[in-house]
Amino acid sequence: LLTEGFSYKPHAFALGFVEAPRGEDVHWSMLGDNQKLFRWRCRAATYANWPVLRYMLRGNTVSDAPLIIGSLDPCYSCTDRVTLVDVRKRQSKTVPYKEIERYGIDRNRSPLK
């Protein structure tokens, strides 16, 4: 992210949302001290679509389930990894869920480095 010319207020938050092919994507973030990310929450459209499955599946056979679930076009990759992009170095790195989870528990060997 390019950050020149921006001022930071600790514990300020931002909300962003966009209409994606599967539905609305929402991202909420909050800055902590030292201009570091303190909280981040995202909700992919797949999460909003899951509750209707019980109604869509009702009265159908098991063999219909893959087609019904597929009609929601679920995005499993949204919950499995994140891609970090460094615009200055023109590099990107995909970090798998297990590495993000490990960092969230022990707070060392950051995947951001």
Taking the whole predicted model, whether its pTM rises above 0.75 is answered as: no
CA atoms within 13 A on the CB side of 44: 15
pLDDT at 59: 94
pLDDT at 40: 85
The answer to whether residue 84 is domain-embedded is: yes
CA distance 45 to 23: 5
At residue 63, what is the residue type?
S
The answer to whether residue 11 is domain-embedded is: no
pLDDT at 113: 60
Length of the chain: 113
The answer to whether residue 30 is domain-embedded is: no
What is the maximum span of the chain, computed from C-alpha positions, in angstroms?
Answer: 58
CA 56 to chain centroid, in Å, comes to 25
The answer to whether residue 86 is domain-embedded is: yes
The answer to whether residue 104 is domain-embedded is: yes
Task: Characterize the bridge pairing of strands 91-96 and 13-20.
Answer: unpaired
CA 8 to chain centroid, in Å, comes to 23
The answer to whether residue 87 is domain-embedded is: yes
pLDDT averaged over 10-residue windows placed end to end, the chain, 113 residues: 70 87 85 81 81 91 89 70 80 83 72 60
Quote the number of domains for the chain.
1
pLDDT at 76: 66
The answer to whether residue 43 is domain-embedded is: no
pLDDT at 79: 62
pLDDT at 55: 93
Provide the β-strand partners of residue 15.
28
The answer to whether residue 52 is domain-embedded is: no
Domain that holds residue 87: 76-108
